[in-house]
């Protein structure tokens, strides 16, 4: 999982957890059901059009609002390979890693990538390449131990593997 690649879905600043997965769908924790309503209040067509590997690109403070893990679960279950944003709400940042969703902070990438651009992300180096526009941007690299958490599929799987040797 060193390289992620997909089409960009562009969202603005302050996309909160209610926009990611509306509260009216929180009566389930089934990832498939959450995925069916992912980003519904921000873009009603998103869940029906997103393809496996696609990438969400957003402005500042992505994932603000409640501390529920449903938001990154919905994004991951929808097939999104990663989220690139100018910045993340801290609780969303932690929850994303806990469930194994790669996220990358890059104000430059968030500003320059456009809806529909083909984007590649090198997980280890934090290099983001906009293949459509032939541009490269730097993201804050994910520390190696957090890359291990993502590779394991989340914190619970990571801890279980460590305990089991």
Which pLDDT score is estimated for 110? 98
Read off the pLDDT of each residue in 91-120 and give the average, rounded to a whole number: 97
Convert the pLDDT of each residue in 123-148 to its tens digit: 999 999 999 999 999 998 888 999 99
Convert the pLDDT of each residue in 54-100 to its tens digit: 999 999 999 999 888 999 999 999 999 999 999 999 999 999 999 99
Distance from C-alpha of 165 to C-alpha of 162, rounded to nearest angstrom: 5
Distance from C-alpha of 116 to C-alpha of 140, rounded to nearest angstrom: 23
CATH number of 3-164: 3.20.19.10
In the block, tokens 């999104």 appear at 80
- pLDDT of 149 strictly over 60: yes
- pLDDT of 122 strictly over 70: yes
Convert the pLDDT of each residue in 20-53 to its tens digit: 999 999 998 899 999 999 999 999 999 999 999 9
Split at pLDDT 50, 70, 90, the class of 165 is confident
The number of helices, as runs of H, and strands, as runs of E, in the chain is 8, 7
The pTM of this model reads 0.95
Radius of gyration of the chain (CA): 15
Q: Write out the DSSP string of the chain.
A: --EEEEEEEE--S--BHHHHS-GGGTT---HHHHHTTTTTTT-TTHHHH--TT-EEEE-TTBTBS---THHHHHHHHTT--EEEES-B-HHHHHHHHHHT--EEE-HHHHHH--TT-EEEEETTTTEEEETTTTEEEE-PPPPHHHHHHHHHTSHHHHHHHHHT-
């Amino acid at each position: 999982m060193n390289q992620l690649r997909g089409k960009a879905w562009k969202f603005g600043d302050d996309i909160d957890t209610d926009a990611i997965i509306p509260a009216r769908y929180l009566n389930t924790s089934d990832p498939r059901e959450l995925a069916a309503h992912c980003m519904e209040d921000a873009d009603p067509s998103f869940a029906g059009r997103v393809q496996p590997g696609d990438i969400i690109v957003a402005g500042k403070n992505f994932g603000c609002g409640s501390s529920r893990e449903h938001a990154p679960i919905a994004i991951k279950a929808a097939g999104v390979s990663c989220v690139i944003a100018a910045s993340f709400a801290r609780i969303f940042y932690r929850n994303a890693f806990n469930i194994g969703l790669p996220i990358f902070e890059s104000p430059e990438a968030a500003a320059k990538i456009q809806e529909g651009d083909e984007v590649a992300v090198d997980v280890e180096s934090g290099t983001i390449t906009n293949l459509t526009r032939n541009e490269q941007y730097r993201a804050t690299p994910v520390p190696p131990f957090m890359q291990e958490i993502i590779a394991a599929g989340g914190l619970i799987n990571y801890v279980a593997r460590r305990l089991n040797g």
